[in-house]
Amino acid sequence: MTTPPTRREPAPNSLPDDGLPVYDAHKMLAGNTTARIQLDDQTYILRLTRQGKLILTK
């Protein structure tokens, strides 16, 4: 039986305040392990691995 990866919150001030938007991958995935991301006429797949890493494929 495998357990889902633990969800780690970033440490406060761990990222530079460079004005770039930050998106929470767990919210994007909405409890799933995959989500589709549309950019113009291309569809990408965002996948959360068992090791808690993200993979983006075309």
Contacts of 43 (CB under 8 A, 6+ apart): 36, 37, 58
User: Domain-by-domain residue ranges, the chain?
Assistant: 25-57
Task: Kindly compute the dihedral angle of the four CA atoms of residues 35, 38, 44, 45, in this order, to the nearest 10 degrees.
Answer: 0
Q: Is the pLDDT of residue 17 over 70?
A: yes
Beta carbons within 10 angstroms of residue 18's beta carbon: 5
Q: Does the global pTM surpass 0.85?
A: no
Dist. CA 25–CA 53, nearest whole Å = 10
Looking at residue 30, what is its pLDDT? Answer: 95
When comparing pLDDT for 2 and 26, which is higher? 26
pLDDT in tens, 3-12: 566 666 655 5
Q: What is the mean pLDDT of residues 2-27?
A: 73
CATH of 25-57 given 2.60.40.420, 2.10.70.10, 3.90.1150.10, 3.40.718.10:
2.10.70.10
pLDDT in tens, 41-51: 999 999 999 99
